[in-house]
Amino acid sequence: MTVDHLDISAPLSNFPILIYLSASSGRNGDDVTCVFNEVGANKFKIAVTTSDGQAQCYVEIEKWDNANKKASLWVKVPNITSDADTDLYLYYDNTHADNTTYVGDTNSIPAENVWDANFKMVQHLADGATSAATYDSTSNNKDGSKEAAGHPAQTTSGKIANAQDFDGADDFVDCSIDFGSVYTISAWVKVKTGATQTSVIGGDSTAKYAGNIIWAASNRYLAGCKHADGSYLSTGNGTVYEDAWHHVTYVVNNTYHEIYLDGASKASQTETYSPQTCQLHRIGTRGSGEVWAYAIIDEVRISNCVRSSGWIKASYESERDHLLDFWPEETAGPVGGHTKTRIVDKDGGSGVYTSIQSAIDSLGTDGGVVYVEGKDGEGQEYTIASPITVPSNVALIGRGNVVIKIDASSDICAIRNSDYSNGNERITVLGFHIKSRNTGQLNYELVDFRKVKHCLLQDLTIDGIQRNRAGISLGTALSEGNRITNCTVSRCGHGIVLVPAGAGDGPERNSITGCTIYDCHVGIYMWRGHRNVVRGNVCRDTVPTGSDTTGHDGILAEEGADNVFQGNVCYHNCEHGIYISGTATGGSGGNTITGNDCYDNAGCGIHLCGQLNCDVHVNAIVGNICCNNDVDGIALDSYAKKNSVTGNICAYNSSYGIRELGTGSEENIILGNICVNNALECDIKPRSGSNTIVEHNKGRPPPP
């Protein structure tokens, strides 16, 4: 599982993340019912670890529904970074002993350890042992007491799992808790049709406005208040309608208060009134029953601190199950649950292999883990005269500084999968420094995987030295569901490539994330790829190679469809930052190019260009920054049709901010962009007669 760092605005510590298991989980709707297929109702036979595959995280099981194959787990993640993706691993084994040290139901010690000391109360709002109570998940034991048994009634239709359905007449849940003067309250609310004023949470009759969140029917907003004499903060008129789930957060820091809706700040204010305090707060009403909730309320949390905007945004994304990406089931992972492990050390020793390939071969068909020992400083170097071949279900892991060097007389790749003809699955290669030979250009990719599925290539440093064909290659349409992450590639013909075999389609549903590619002919090259994700990479300083006297693009994608290029930084390249191309054999369409920073390139920041009957069409170019390029910020060249160019910033380019040019560039939408201080006579230049819509942009229009 991966937490996408682009959803994390600042580093988070001890963050409780939701792992929702079902037939449609995470931001991509992945089927993870394989967990239930393995452990069934034995819910404690699981473990969640950090990226090293060893350090366990505490897990609270809010709900485990084996019959319907659904579960909601809360996991305490020690650190989530904002500059690189965070990986987690979920292990499950029906033959394993119950993992009750780290995994437990609500009110167990492992479950309480999920919530840091600043959480004063966490109510998932499922019924407790009886229908008259709800449980606090923290160690503070602020359990809820209902107005009566079944009032409110539990519903299985909560935002996350179960919740409470308030009738708008007399339902409430008492919580014996005092907020103090610094606090953060959050909740999920679904106001029902016919509701009037609805109180999500409020104080008792002595201080009913203390920490009060209320929904106003007249203007359809949520509002927060901390004192009877102070003002409400509103999410804004018409922001919260009936029968839709919304996440509301109210932050109070003495005289300052702020309200968030669905992860975004909506209003803030500093006033003279400090917060009222109250010993008894109620969910679903305030005061002595003057305002009742006609709503379904879920996941009420109270902290005695100011949670940051980054924490609040991440909580919203997590609680709506939109923070995690699930990857296919693996039987071999970074440490993997294997009984077979091998150690490789060039210096030898008892029970230790001196050859990497011999250690891999000794595992047999069941697979396992091979650890290759390195050394500090210059590292431990293993010189190879034939490729290291890795079969299915094997994890090959470098520990320390491990260098794999191609012998001076060998023209080979360094590491490849073992079966090019039929393919392999579930291979991990992690933590190696791979070097080409010092003389003569290689005719092979340094890491070459073909027809592979569900493989992980991570933390590899690849130096082509003499510019071999590619640093890392995934080949054929049968390469699917693989990850290339946190790798550094330099001095290669192409840094990372995803290519077909012959005239067929290219790889599908793979990801390239967090990699740095420089001093290559092309940074990332994709040909006929479909539904791949290229996210958070740095592609810079392309260079000429061989007979080609000019380098090319940071990212080049030809004849592909439905790919995502997000959050990449492409600069100092010999041609374009990102180039989406159609060729004589096929067009490119349905791609999303968003949030990229393309600057100081010798061509354009982003360039789209097709050919006759091979259009580059229906692509979305959204929210990119394209500045200081030697041609245009964004160029829609020949046969670029029906593309949407919205919300981009294009400034200080040597030609235009956004330009259409070439035959067949037409029917595009150029909307809401900021294009200023570009060199030629206007900042946005549509092609004459192109029927392109150009509206609501900032910049100099073309001359009449």
Determine the Cα–Cα distance for residues 390 and 335; give it in Å rounded to an integer.
Answer: 16
DSSP string, 60-83: EEEEEETTTTEEEEEEEEEEE-SS
The 10 Å CB-count burial string (b at 16+, else e) for 386-423 is ebbbbbbbbbbbbeebbbbbbeeebebbbbbbbebeeb
Q: Determine the pLDDT at residue 335.
A: 41
Beta-carbon-side half-sphere exposure of residue 208 (alpha carbons within 13 Å): 12
φ and ψ of 237, to 5 deg: -60, 140
What are the structural domain ranges in the chain? 2-114, 119-304
Residue 6's SS3 state is: helix
Q: Determine the pLDDT at residue 143.
A: 95
* Integer angstrom CA distances of residue 555 from 535, 547, 667: 11, 21, 25
Q: Mind listing the pLDDT tens digit for each residue in 197-238?
A: 899 998 877 788 888 899 888 889 999 888 887 788 999 888
Q: Determine the pLDDT at residue 515.
A: 96
Q: Determine the pLDDT at residue 331.
A: 53
DSSP state of 648: -
Contact 454, 484 (CB under 8 A): no
Determine the Cα–Cα distance for residues 523 and 125; give it in Å rounded to an integer.
Answer: 50
Q: Determine the pLDDT at residue 378.
A: 64
Q: Determine the pLDDT at residue 546.
A: 63
Which residue, 193, 187, 148, 186, is CA-closest to 168?
193
Residue 319's SS3 state is: helix
In this structure, what token pair is assigned to residue 322?
């939109």
Q: Determine the pLDDT at residue 334.
A: 40
Q: Collect the ranges in the chain with pLDDT lower than 50.
A: 332-339
Q: Determine the pLDDT at residue 377.
A: 61
Contact 286, 212 (CB under 8 A): yes
Contact 526, 497 (CB under 8 A): yes
Which CATH number is correct for 119-304, 2.40.30.10, 2.40.50.140, 2.60.120.200, 3.30.450.20?
2.60.120.200
Largest CA distance in the chain: 87
Interior CA angle at 55 toward 51 and 60, to 5°?
100
Q: Mind listing the pLDDT tens digit for each residue in 264-281?
A: 999 999 988 888 887 778
Q: Determine the pLDDT at residue 163.
A: 97
Determine the Cα–Cα distance for residues 74 and 15; give it in Å rounded to an integer.
Answer: 10
354, amino acid identity:
T
